[in-house]
Amino acid sequence: MSRVLIIGCGGVAQVAIRKCCQASEVFEEICIASRTKKKCDDLAEKLKGKTATKITTAQVDADDSAQVEALIRAYKPDLVMNIALPYQDLAIMDACLSCGVNYMDTANYEPENTEDPAWRAIYEKRCREEGFSAYFDYSWQWAYREKFEKAGLTALLGCGFDPGVTQAYCAYARKHEFDSIKTIDILDCNGGDHGYKFATNFNPEVNLREVSAPGSYWENGHWVEVPAMSIKRVYDFDQVGQKDMYLLHHEEIESLAKTIPGVERIRFFMTFGESYLTHMRCLEDVGMLSTAPIMYEGCEIVPIQFLKALLPDPASLGPRTKGKTNIGCIFTGLKDGKEKTYYIYNVCDHEECYREVESQAISYTTGVPAMCGALMLLTKKWDKKGVYTVDELDPDPFLEALETYGLPKKESYCPELVD
């Protein structure tokens, strides 16, 4: 029986909240708090009479640690689920530390303003020393390890699908399928169609930043960085069919390079259609993906935020999206002295998700793991003090929970390999 404060009420949070309400025996009380309180109130109204979970709502600007702290002190939750944006991660972690409460999120920290000189100096040093130039990385949150450990608290980072479930798949492969893992390819396929020429399936600003950044992969102990979208492969996905996929930098590579001993190569591929890529390139060429504020007729605007206001809200794609997602990991390695390949993945149907929780599968495949991660912390199946990514925790109870709450795994021992 627990009390949980959920920050954010966008596409992913709405799924996580609905799923928490399916497990009222654990999520006895939740407070939904976001920048726009109306979204929280509207969802609470929809759920009225349909769950035993007691729901309250609040307004909070989570960029302001003091506001989060005041809310935590008033509500006294056992756990804070940050399902707002990665920009708020550090402010919310600070508030949790100061109030003595466990923390979790679905994406690692990145700053809202990447032109901030203080942040940029650290970022440029990291690019030189580490060898990849994505705006997001774990170093900011890993720096809280000792503080959380000393406070006897847990912070669970990036508990969505990728990162999140993909790291649990790696921990599972390591625990049950291999003596040593040689290569990991993470494949994220969205075979869904929403009928728009251009829309993003989760927060447009975060999504477009991720996709337009240089790609990188881990090989023989170091990063190899390549221009954005320069490595393309075609893959035949179970229940989706053939899709073009492109190599991206992704945060779980950073943690897996540390937690999978002796791994020789880790890559991440995501599928994109030609229309998406053409629109993205044009928008980038005209400066619409820039995070640097500009003055327009006396008003300061950030181009990518203005673009976000023009694009469809990802939460509105649910009723129009058809097709399936297929996300998982392909491994090669050794078991009992023999070479082995193994593919573990999930297939999720956009329309089925909509029927269940009024959302498309991208928000579903992120919101369900967020709820299952919270379940692991609240039931103490995961009870390590400090700051952890999912690959550092026991995958078995988490994969069982995913099975129960809508994301069952599929396995293959002779998958097509990616060259």
Beta bridge partners of 216: 225
Q: Which is nearer to ligand NDP, 16 or 21 (CB)?
A: 16
Give start and end residues of each alpha helix (H) in 131-228. 139-142, 145-150, 165-172, 204-212
Q: Would you state the structure tokens that stand for residue 303, as one six-digit string?
A: 């181009």
Strand-strand pairing, 79-82 and 2-7:
parallel
Identify which of residues 73 and 150 has a Cβ nearer to ligand NDP in the complex: 73
| Distance of closest approach, residue 262 Cβ to ligand NDP, in angstroms | 26
Q: Which is nearer to ligand NDP, 250 or 332 (CB)?
A: 250
Shortest spacing between CB 296 and ligand NDP, in angstroms: 21
What's the sign of the alpha-carbon dihedral 388, 141, 253, 291?
positive
* Rounded CA separation 251/58 (Å): 31
CB 109 within 8 A of CB 251: no
Question: Which amino acid does the sequence have at 304?
Answer: I
- State which residue has the least CB distance to ligand NDP: 10
What is the SS3 assignment for 301? strand
Closest approach of Cβ 408 to ligand NDP, in Å? 17
Can you list the alpha helix ranges (DSSP code H) found in 234-288?
251-259, 274-285
- Distance between CA atoms of residues 264 and 255, nearest Å: 14
Least separation in angstroms between CB 419 and ligand NDP: 26
Q: How far is the CB of 413 from ligand NDP (least distance, A)?
A: 26
- Is 164 or 406 the residue whose CB approaches ligand NDP more closely? 164
Q: Tell the smallest beta-carbon distance from residue 11 to ligand NDP (Å).
A: 4
Chain contacts with ligand NDP (rule: CB under 6 A):
7-13, 34-36, 39, 60-63, 83-86, 88, 106-107, 158, 160-164, 202-203, 206, 314-315, 366
Torsion of CA 322, 45, 367, 387, to 10 degrees: 160
Nearest to 254 by CA among 123, 371, 373, 390: 390
Q: Provide the minimum distance between the beta carbon of 393 and ligand NDP in the complex, in angstroms, as a whole number.
A: 15
DSSP string, 309-367: HHSPPGGGSGGG-BSEEEEEEEEEEEETTEEEEEEEEEEEEHHHHHHHHSS-HHHHHHH
Termini Cα distance of the chain: 49
CB of 390 to ligand NDP, least distance (A): 10
Residue placing its CB nearer to ligand NDP in the complex, 87 or 223: 87
Q: Which is nearer to ligand NDP, 153 or 315 (CB)?
A: 315
Nearer to ligand NDP, 59 or 98 (CB): 59
| Helix H or strand E encompassing 57 | strand 54-59
User: Residue 21 or residue 84: which is nearer to ligand NDP going by CB?
Assistant: 84
Task: Please count the CA atoms within 13 angstroms of the CA of 351 that sit on its side-chain side.
Answer: 4
CB of 133 to ligand NDP, least distance (A): 19
- Please, which residue, 95 or 260, has the CB nearer to ligand NDP? 95
